[in-house]
Amino acid sequence: LPSISEQKRIAAILDKADEIKKGSDSSNQLHWNLINAIFSDIFGDITVNDKNWRLGNISEIAKVSSGYAFKSDWFTNKGTPVIRIGDIQEGFVSVTNAARIDEDSLEIKERFRLLEGDILMALSGATTGKIGMVSTKERGSYLNQRIANIRPNSTHCCAYIYHLFSNKQIIDKLIKQAGGSAQPNLSPKDLEGFIIPIPENTELSIFNSIVNQIQKNKQHTDNRLEDVVLLAQSSVQSLIN
């Protein structure tokens, strides 16, 4: 075992790494709060449309589709990921625990394949209405049934649609209009016909550009924090050895 002094040094390094990780979580919340504040400044209180934006269907600014009914015996440990409801996390999509298929042995239409920037929404179960955005990592995955794919018609609509449906009041309204019950269910048609405020393209573009820049800065910070944590872990390993 390392000496008492070395054990104390190891503990101090691990405590510092833990502080950095907690700081990253705090940073995530600060970024989210900042974007929400900018959203409200540009678009107003979207739940009551106090800036009197034109009203229209979501289908005016995005195409809504649903996933494919993959059979469970098609799933393997290798191959192309299939995104299921459980893979939609708090605002993002993860392929870490995703089921996979051997797409070479199946004939799945390309319309079920995901693109970066697609916004996914759970259509059934206790988590109906939860959303996640497809990133570069999930691009090319397939979408399973009971999930809606909201694909913006233009990139400048992407951030607005995502943050619109991140609003719990908006989701509650959507579910209520669809005849929500104790076990709510939505359909792509419910989404397509949902009436939302549709701001001008200028405001949509401004918000999208601001969000993209904030996300780029955040990613740069996250990468630096990760490097520091890895360095701390490496230092601990060298002390142990």
Report the range of poorest mean pLDDT among 5-9, 101-105, 158-162, 167-171: 5-9
Taking residues 180-185, report their average pLDDT. Answer: 72
Give yes or no for a contact between 114 and 138, defined as CB atoms under 8 angstroms apart: yes
More confident call, 5 vs 90: 90
CA dist., res. 102 & res. 79, Å (int)? 5
pLDDT of residue 26: 64
pLDDT at 178: 84
Strands of the sheet with 80-83, listed across from one edge: 99-101, 80-83, 142-143
pLDDT reported for residue 40: 95
Average pLDDT over residues 211-229: 75
Supply the pLDDT for residue 231. Answer: 62
pLDDT of residue 125: 87
d(CA 171, CA 209): 25
Q: Is the pLDDT of residue 228 over 70?
A: no
Q: What is the mean pLDDT of residues 171-192?
A: 86
Provide the pLDDT for residue 170: 96
Q: Tell me what pLDDT residue 112 has.
A: 98
Structure tokens at 48: 């009551």
Q: Chain-wide mean pLDDT for the chain?
A: 87
Highest mean pLDDT among 89-93, 155-159, 229-233 belongs to 155-159
Q: Where are the beta strands (DSSP E) in 102-235?
A: 119-122, 131-133, 142-143, 147-152, 195-198
